Amino acid sequence: MVEQLFGSKTRVKLLQLFLGNPNRQFYVREITRKIDEQINSVRRELSNLLSIGIIVSDSNNNKLYYEVNQKYKFYAPLRQIFGKGYSPIQKEEEALKLGTNEVEIQLNSVGHIELAILTGQFTRDESSGIDLLIVGDVNPNALVKYVNNLEQKENKVIRYTIMKMEDFKYRIAIKDRFALSVLGSKKQVLVDMHGIVAVETKQEEEQ
């Protein structure tokens, strides 16, 4: 039904990928692998989405990266429709191909996660020096397995940091450079149980 409304299966998958991963950039072959569609079809639909203004592109190191345009006038309603990826009635293995849905699902097996942020390689912002921050009570063995799986699927070495919530809140309170660099970086928030990112963003805007 959704494919009929929006024109093609590839376009729907792209919308799910981009709107489900705000602040995250993807290059063409990475997109093709994640949504499991032919590269020519992906290139055609990327061109269509660019012309409409739903996504934007940026070139770096001879690669063209794409991400959702959060200033697009219909960004909010589109994110409500596509922001959670595939619906539960679709095959689980298809849902997992879109990247962040898989990250969020597997986080449940790591422990009680109160804050999880992707940055660094995922958003092409190296200001914090890490790719993944996990805050909460973590099972070390489960975390190692989780990171290894993520590295295999993303085809990159993941730099990550874990800490307790009380430690992270203390770092914010004393204006610790690392904590503020993570919160100030270009990021994708996977989990934020206490609304920390929203509070810090609002405070920055008011200053």
Residues 42-57 pLDDT 10s: 999 999 999 999 999 9
Q: How far apart are alpha carbons 48 and 11 in whole angstroms? A: 9
For the cut 50, the answer to whether the pLDDT of residue 110 exceeds it is yes
Q: How far apart are alpha carbons 74 and 32 in whole angstroms? A: 25
Indicate the CATH number for domain 2-91: 1.10.10.10
Asked whether the domain spanning 102-206 has the same topology as the one spanning 2-91, the reply is no
Q: Locate the domains of the chain by residue range.
A: 2-91, 102-206
pLDDT at 88: 35
- Residue 106 gets which letter from DSSP? H
| CATH topology for the 102-206 domain | Beta Polymerase; domain 2 (3.30.460)
* 103 vs 57: which has the higher pLDDT: 57
Q: How far apart are alpha carbons 78 and 164 in whole angstroms? A: 35
pLDDT at 98: 43
pTM for the predicted model, two decimal places: 0.74
Q: What is the crossing angle of helices 9-19 and 75-82, to 10°?
A: 100
User: Closest by alpha carbon to 163, among 145, 149, 182, 150?
Assistant: 182
